[in-house]
Chains A and B, each alone.
Chain A
Amino acid sequence: MYKIILLLLGLGFFNLSFSQHKYSLSGRIVDSNQNPLPGASIFLMPSGQGTVADAKGYFSIPMLENGSYRVEVKYLGYQNWVDTLLVDANLNRLVELKPQSVELQEVVVWDHRAEKRKQEESLSIEIVTQDFIKQNLGGSLMQSLERLPGVSTIDIGSGQSKPVIRGLSFNRVVVVEHGLKHEGQQWGADHGLEVDQYAVENVEIIKGPSSLTYGSDALGGVIDLKSAKIPGPNTLGGSVDIIGKSNNQHWGSSVALYGRKKYFFVQLRATALSYADYRVPVDSVDIYSYRAGLHNNNLRNTAGNEQSIHLNLGWAKDYFQSKIFVSHLRSEAGFFANAHGLEPRHVNTEIHDASNRDILDPYHQVQHTKIVSTTQWRSEKLKYELILGFQRNLRHEWSEYVNHGYMPDQFPDSLQYDPNLELQFDKKIYAAKFKVDFGTWKKWNTSLGFNGDFQHNEIGGRAFIIPAFDQWNAGIFGISQRPLTANSILQWGLRYDVGQLNSKAYYDWFPSPEVSGADTHFVYLMRADHLLKNFSSFSTSLGYSYFTDQWLLKINAGKSFRMPNAKELAANGVNYHHFSYEVGNANLKPESSYQLDLGMEYDGGSWIVGASPFVNFFANYIYLNPTSQYDRLYGNGNQEFNYTQSNVFRVGGEVYGHVHLMKNLLLGMVGEYVFSRQLSGDKQGFSLPFSPPAAGIVNMKYTAKKFYFFESMYFNLDVRFSAQQNQIVPPEEVTDGYVIFNFSWGSDIKIKNQKIELNFQIQNLTNTVYFNHTSYYRLINVPEAGRNFVVSLRFPFQT
Chain B
Amino acid sequence: MKKTILTFAFIIALYGTFSSCQKEATVDKEKPVIDLSAADAFPGNCDTLYFGEPFVLKMAFSDNVELGSYSIDIHHNFDHHSHSTEITSCTMDPIKEAFNSFTHIQNYSIPTGQQHYQTQLSIPLPTSNDDGSFDEGDYHFYISLTDHEGWSTQKGLSIKILYR
Contacts and interface: CB of A to CB of B under 8 A. Distances in A.
A402 interface: yes
Given A343-B142, A632-B107, A615 B17 contact: yes
Q: Which of B76, B150, B156 has the most CB of A within 10 A?
A: B150
Contacts of A344: 81, 83
B152 A626 contact: yes
A405 B72 CA distance: 12
Contacts of A615: 14, 17-18
A409 interface: yes
Contacts of B7: 553, 555, 598, 600
B48 interface: no
Contacts of A685: 25-27
Interface string A591-618: 0000010101000000000010101000
A410 B26 CA distance: 49
Contacts, number: 142
Contacts of B10: 555, 598
Given A628-B69, A628-B146, A638-B71, A292 B81 contact: no
B148 A343 contact: no
Contacts of B120: none
A682 B27 CA distance: 11
Contact of B3 (A343, A553, A627): A553
Given A290-B85, A637-B73, A627 B106 contact: no
Contacts of B73: 636-637
A636 B29 contact: no
B150 A347 contact: no
A589 to B, nearest CB: 22
Contacts of B115: none
Q: Which of A289, A649, A726 has the most CB of B within 10 A?
A: A289
A730 B150 contact: yes
A551 interface: yes
A495 to B, nearest CB: 25
Contacts of A627: 68, 146, 150
A797 B148 CA distance: 64
A403 B71 contact: no
A410 B99 contact: yes
Interface string A400-412: 0011011001100
A60 to B, nearest CB: 35
A632 to B, nearest CB: 5
A123 to B, nearest CB: 15
Contacts of A731: 150-152
A343 B69 contact: no
Interface string A726-765: 1010110010000000000000000000000000000000
B149 A730 contact: yes
B82 A343 contact: yes
Contacts of B25: 677, 685-686
A626 B147 CA distance: 10
A56 interface: no
Contacts of A682: 150
B21 interface: yes
A110 interface: no
Nearest to A627: B150
A636 B105 contact: yes
Interface in B105-156: 105-107, 140, 142, 144, 146-152, 154, 156
B151 A730 contact: yes
A409 B135 CA distance: 11
A630 interface: yes
A290 B156 contact: yes
B156 A728 contact: no
Contacts of B22: 675
Interface string A340-368: 00111111000000000000000000000
Q: Which of A625, A639, A683, A728 has the most CB of B within 10 A?
A: A639
A629 B145 CA distance: 9
A546 interface: yes
Contacts of B85: 288-290
Nearest to B84: A290
B86 to A, nearest CB: 9
Contact of A343 (B100, B101, B149, B156): B156
Contacts of A402: 79, 81
A384 to B, nearest CB: 36
A613 B11 contact: yes
B82 A629 contact: no
A546 to B, nearest CB: 6
B135 to A, nearest CB: 8
B56 interface: no
A346 B80 CA distance: 7
Interface string A645-677: 000010100000000000000000000000101
A677 B21 contact: yes
Contact of A628 (B29, B72, B149): B149
A354 to B, nearest CB: 18
Nearest to B151: A730
Nearest to A554: B7
Interface in A373-417: 402-403, 405-406, 409-410
A631 interface: yes
Contacts of A734: 29
Contacts of A628: 68-69, 146-150
B64 interface: no
Contact of A290 (B76, B83, B99, B107): B83
B4 interface: yes
Interface string B54-81: 0000000000000011111101100101
Contacts of B21: 649, 651, 675, 677
Interface string B1-43: 0011001001100110110011001110100000000000000
B100 A409 contact: yes
A460 B115 CA distance: 44
Contacts of B105: 405-406, 632, 636-637
Contacts of B150: 625-628, 639, 682-683, 730-731
A651 B15 CA distance: 9
Contact of A409 (B82, B101, B142): B101
Interface in A292-347: 292, 342-347
A406 B70 contact: no
A269 B75 CA distance: 51
Contacts of B107: 629-632, 637
A618 to B, nearest CB: 14
Contacts of A675: 18, 21-22
Q: Which of A410, A628, A728 has the most CB of B within 10 A?
A: A628
Contacts of A625: 150
A598 B14 contact: yes
A28 B142 CA distance: 82
Interface in A536-589: 546, 551, 553, 555
Contacts of A631: 107
A292 B146 contact: no
Interface of A: 288-290, 292, 342-347, 402-403, 405-406, 409-410, 546, 551, 553, 555, 596, 598, 600, 611, 613, 615, 625-632, 636-639, 649, 651, 675, 677, 682-683, 685-686, 726, 728, 730-731, 734
Interface of B: 3-4, 7, 10-11, 14-15, 17-18, 21-22, 25-27, 29, 68-73, 75-76, 79, 81-85, 98-101, 103, 105-107, 140, 142, 144, 146-152, 154, 156
Given A410-B98, A551-B4, A637-B105, 17 more contacts: A342-B156, A343-B156, A345-B81, A402-B81, A405-B105, A625-B150, A626-B151, A628-B68, A630-B146, A631-B107, A632-B71, A651-B21, A675-B21, A677-B25, A682-B150, A685-B26, A731-B152
* Nearest 10 Cβ contacts at the A-B interface: A628-B68, A345-B81, A626-B150, A630-B107, A630-B71, A685-B25, A637-B105, A409-B98, A628-B146, A685-B27
12 contacts: A342-B154, A346-B79, A403-B75, A410-B98, A410-B99, A598-B10, A615-B14, A629-B68, A637-B144, A649-B21, A685-B25, A686-B25
